Each structure stands twice: as structure tokens, then as C-alpha cells.
Amino acid sequence: MPSSCAVCARERDELSTSTATRPAVPAGHAPRLRTARRPRHSTRSPRRSVTLTVLTGVVLLYALLPLVWLVFSATKSQRGLANSFGLWFDGDFALWDNIRTTFTYQDGVFGRWLLNTLMYVVVGAGGATLLAVLGGYALAKFRFPGKRAVFAVVIGAVAVPGTALAVPTFLLFSKMGLTDTPWAVIIPSLISPFGLYLMWVFASDAIPDELLEAARIDGAGELRTFFQVCLPLLAPGTVTVLLFTTVATWNNYFLPLIMLKDPDWYPLTLGLNSWNAQAGTAGGEAVFHLVITGSLLTVVPLIAAFLLLQKHWQSGLAAGSVKE
């Protein structure tokens, strides 16, 4: 057997030989490391991206074009509407005059319609949101007989359009003597099946059962647990339901149309429609610019509400979309 010193010398010679045969790396250049080759992107991905961008732009243009026309038209006088391009300003900026005329026309009935709409929204949409929060929390966190039947009823109510229930609702309120009163608009607005379903789903994910058990162990009652522990956690879903019910009540047209006859109880939608009908008659063309200005004043509060509360309602819509 060769000695250990001879073996060590042989290994040292082999190492020096392999090092000498290896090509030298130029100074200033780091050795290149082999990396895994990335898969080439499919040629369909850019086309899909461009197509989706174009379609989104078309939809956005379709949605914003009427609003842009409304903004430009509200700054024009009645003569400027007929003598200027629709998507640009006229030489005479008459926005403030149009707003003042809108609020003073027919003894200020537009202001009365605005207050009526605010009343319907505060009482109707606010009440619908409160009932949806209470009902959704109860359905999500309490067990009781017939819960699946309630779920089926709620889903079925979501699928039924409101216009299908308008005539039966009118007949019912007519028997009760509530037609042509604000209650004929407020009471149906208190029911929001979609809001109830949304709060049901949101409460199921937003409120852990362990938190309820801890509150009950500490001696908190059900009302205190709900208002002090659960309600802050339900804030995003509550804002989302409030926005949906507010928009539905603010834009409600068909229900007030069949329920109300007195113009003093008209909401904005029904009042502006009466002005529009007046503008279509002979000699009523002078009211058309008031219809445009009133429509702009009707849209502005909804846009402001969505922009101010977009953080909350976006997080509320995303509730339940991701499971841990």
C-alpha cells in the first residue's frame, strides 16, 4: 500500500493540473452563473391584455360620456344649448344662474323635492341598513330551527325584481289607506334582501366565534356584545349596504310613480320627470335647461358619497371572497 504522504502528493498534483487547465477569468469580470431558463411568454397574453384594455376603455367612455355631456350642458343657457356643441362650453357661462333658477322655479318646489328625497333616504335607506345589519348578524351567529328555510327565502327575495312587487304593494297600501303619503315610499324601502344577504356573509367572516364566547364569559349581554364588540367589526359591510340602499332609494322612480299623486311629496326623480314632461309640451322648452341642471344636482351627492366612502365599501364587497 502506498503511504499516506504519497496519496496526498498525488491528490495535490491532480488538483493543480485541473486548475491549470481551467480558463482564466479576466480581471473585473465575475463568473457567470447558470440560471434556469425562463419560459417564454405566450403570444396570446399581450393580445388579451390589449383587448381587455380596449373593452374597459369603451365601457368607461360609454358610462362617462352622458355625465360629461350633463356637466357641459348645465353651464349653458337655454339658447346656448341649441347653438353650441354638446361636449364643450358655451361663451356664456350660466351655471350659477341655472342653479338659482332651478331652486326658485315654481316657488322653490325643487328644494321641497330634495328634502323629500333626503327624508326617504334617511328613514328608508337608514332603516333598511339597520335591519340588514341586525338580521345578518343574527343569521350568521345564532342557531335556530328553520335557518335553512330563512336562507332560501332570502335568496328567493333577492332574485325577485322590485317592479314585480310594485302592483301588489300598491293594492295592499291602498287597502290600508297609506297611498299618497310618505309611508307608501318609506315602508317598502325598509326591506333590502340583498343587503341582508350581504351582511349575513360579511358577519360570518368578520366576527370570530371565539370573540363572542370571550365577551359572554366576561359577562356581557347580547346587546352589549353586539353594539360594543361586533358593530365596529361590521363597519365596512354596513357602509356597503348603506351605499346600495341609498342609491336604490335615491333613484327610486317606479314605486313613487304609482304611490304618490301630490307633487309636494314627490322625490327628485318624479319631480324632474314632471318637468321633463312639461318641457316636451308647446311653450315649455324654457324648462329643459332646468331639467339638465336639476339632474346634475341630483347626481352630485351620490358621486360624492361613493368617492368619500370608497375605502369602506370596496373592503365590504371583498368580504368572503378569500378563505383562509
Residues 6+ apart with CB under 8 A from 162: 254, 255
CB-based contact 117:268 (threshold 8 Å)? yes
pLDDT at 160: 87
pLDDT at 9: 53
pLDDT at 130: 95
User: pLDDT tens track of the chain, all 324 residues?
Assistant: 444 454 455 555 554 554 444 455 455 444 554 555 555 545 555 666 888 899 999 999 998 999 999 999 898 888 888 788 878 888 788 889 999 999 999 899 999 999 999 999 999 999 999 999 999 999 999 988 888 898 889 888 888 888 888 889 999 999 999 999 999 999 999 999 999 999 999 999 889 999 999 998 988 888 999 998 999 999 989 998 999 999 999 999 999 999 999 999 999 999 999 999 988 786 667 788 889 999 999 999 999 888 888 776 665 555 544 444
Could you please report the per-residue DSSP string of 184-237? Answer: HHHHHHT--HHHHHHHHHHHHHHS-HHHHHHHHHTT--HHHIIIIIIHHHTHHH
Question: What domains appear along the chain, each with residue ranges and CATH number?
Answer: 109-317 (1.10.3720.10)
